[in-house]
Amino acid sequence: MRSPRLFHRGASLTALSALAAGLATAAQAGTGQPSPWQFGFQGSVTEVMDFITTFHNWLLVLITAITLFVLALLVYVMVRFNEKRNPTPSRTTHHVGLEVAWTVVPILILVAIAVPSFQLLRKQLVPPPADVTIKATGHAWYWSYEYPADQNGGFSFESNMLAEDARQKAIASGRPASEVPRLLAVDNEVVVPVNKVVRVQVTAADVLHAFAMPSFGIKVDAVPGRLNETWFKANREGLYFGQCSELCGQNHAFMPIAIRVVSDERYAAWLAEAKTRYARIDDAPRAVAAR
Ligand SMILES: [Cu+2]
């Protein structure tokens, strides 16, 4: 076990796992949508997704090191302790030092995983105070969104995937193809301000759906009769795409989510326009009829 050769292997383990993590980061796709030959996550635009990416890379290093260590031990045992090289086997049944080591080392590894894991959970589940609230409702098979009246909104709209002919028409009329990706582009995008905490309330009208945005690092179930909540704070303007992530029926693959992150001024302009364009909702408490 203490042979210098194995120790040498240990050094190359670290190098290999660093390379693996490097590869995963290098092959990371563009932000906002998947890209051909994508290997890692989509690029991040929120603190939560930054954390998820770092945590993922850390786990990759750890798991690569563990796998190579176990492989090295197996090879060593096969070579050193095969019947030919080791005709009289040891009768040892206990080795206190070894047993303490293989109990304590895995505990330390689990702690090294648990600490960032709980930090991440806390970041996800304890949101800062919200600047903007939107409500997303999953339907078979599209999303609808509400901007509540008490948040300077008071309208709701449906968001359907762009059919192929509509998509081609958009490209022909000069929209860049990256703005209308196949199976991801929608007719009515959600618009939110950049660098603002957006609270997303998520529910469903019929069956289970899930609201997922890879670049924001959010994914939350949309359950009929229940209001789930998540949040994000996008730090870069742009157009970001997500998809329903709970198998919900025939057109599950065709109910994308598109969120456009814009400056405060453009957001204000969009709000003003959206109020005239979309259906009004009045979410003031309704008077209860007296009996
Ligand atoms: Cu679905």
CATH code for position 117: 1.10.287.90
String of b and e for 136-160 (b: at least 16 CB within 10 Å)?
bbbbbbbbbbbbbeebebbbbbebb
Position 288 in a domain = no
* Same structural domain, 275 and 142: yes
Q: Assess contact for 214 and 42: CB atoms under 8 A.
A: yes
* Same structural domain, 53 and 138: no
* Same structural domain, 120 and 151: no
Number of domains in the chain: 2
* Same structural domain, 120 and 137: no
CA 141 / ligand 1 centre spacing (Å): 7
User: Residue 138's domain spans which residues?
Assistant: 132-280
* Same structural domain, 251 and 174: yes
* Same structural domain, 137 and 56: no
Q: Assess contact for 270 and 191: CB atoms under 8 A.
A: yes
Q: Assess contact for 238 and 45: CB atoms under 8 A.
A: yes
Position 75 in a domain = yes
* Same structural domain, 139 and 261: yes
In the prediction, which pLDDT does 149 show? Answer: 87
CA 35 / ligand 1 centre spacing (Å): 21
In the prediction, which pLDDT does 285 show? Answer: 52
**Could you report the average pLDDT of every consecutive run of 10 residues in the chain (291 residues)?**
42 50 50 88 95 96 96 96 90 92 96 96 94 96 93 91 93 91 94 97 97 96 96 96 96 96 96 92 57 48
In the prediction, which pLDDT does 8 show? Answer: 46
CA 93 / ligand 1 centre spacing (Å): 54
CA 247 / ligand 1 centre spacing (Å): 4
Q: In what order do the strands lie in the sheet with 279-280?
A: 228-232, 198-204, 132-139, 142-147, 155-159, 279-280
Domain boundary among 125, 157, 191: 125
* Same structural domain, 99 and 141: no
User: What is the rounded radius of gyration, in angstroms, for the C-alpha atoms of the chain?
Assistant: 26
* Same structural domain, 98 and 140: no
CA 191 / ligand 1 centre spacing (Å): 22
* Same structural domain, 147 and 221: yes
In the prediction, which pLDDT does 18 show? Answer: 52
Position 29 in a domain = yes
CA 100 / ligand 1 centre spacing (Å): 48
CA 250 / ligand 1 centre spacing (Å): 9
Position 177 in a domain = yes
CA 245 / ligand 1 centre spacing (Å): 6
CA 47 / ligand 1 centre spacing (Å): 26
CA 205 / ligand 1 centre spacing (Å): 12
* Same structural domain, 105 and 216: no
For residue 29, give the nearest of 53, 59, 63 by alpha carbon: 53
CA 222 / ligand 1 centre spacing (Å): 9
Domain boundary among 125, 147, 176: 125
Question: Is this structure's pTM higher than 0.85?
Answer: no
CA 220 / ligand 1 centre spacing (Å): 12
In the prediction, which pLDDT does 2 show? Answer: 40
Position 263 in a domain = yes
Position 290 in a domain = no
CA 164 / ligand 1 centre spacing (Å): 20
CA 166 / ligand 1 centre spacing (Å): 22
* Same structural domain, 219 and 238: yes
CA 252 / ligand 1 centre spacing (Å): 4
CA 106 / ligand 1 centre spacing (Å): 38
CA 140 / ligand 1 centre spacing (Å): 8
Distance CA 42, CA 27 (A): 10
CATH of residue 175: 2.60.40.420
In the prediction, which pLDDT does 198 show? Answer: 97
CA 56 / ligand 1 centre spacing (Å): 25
CA 60 / ligand 1 centre spacing (Å): 29
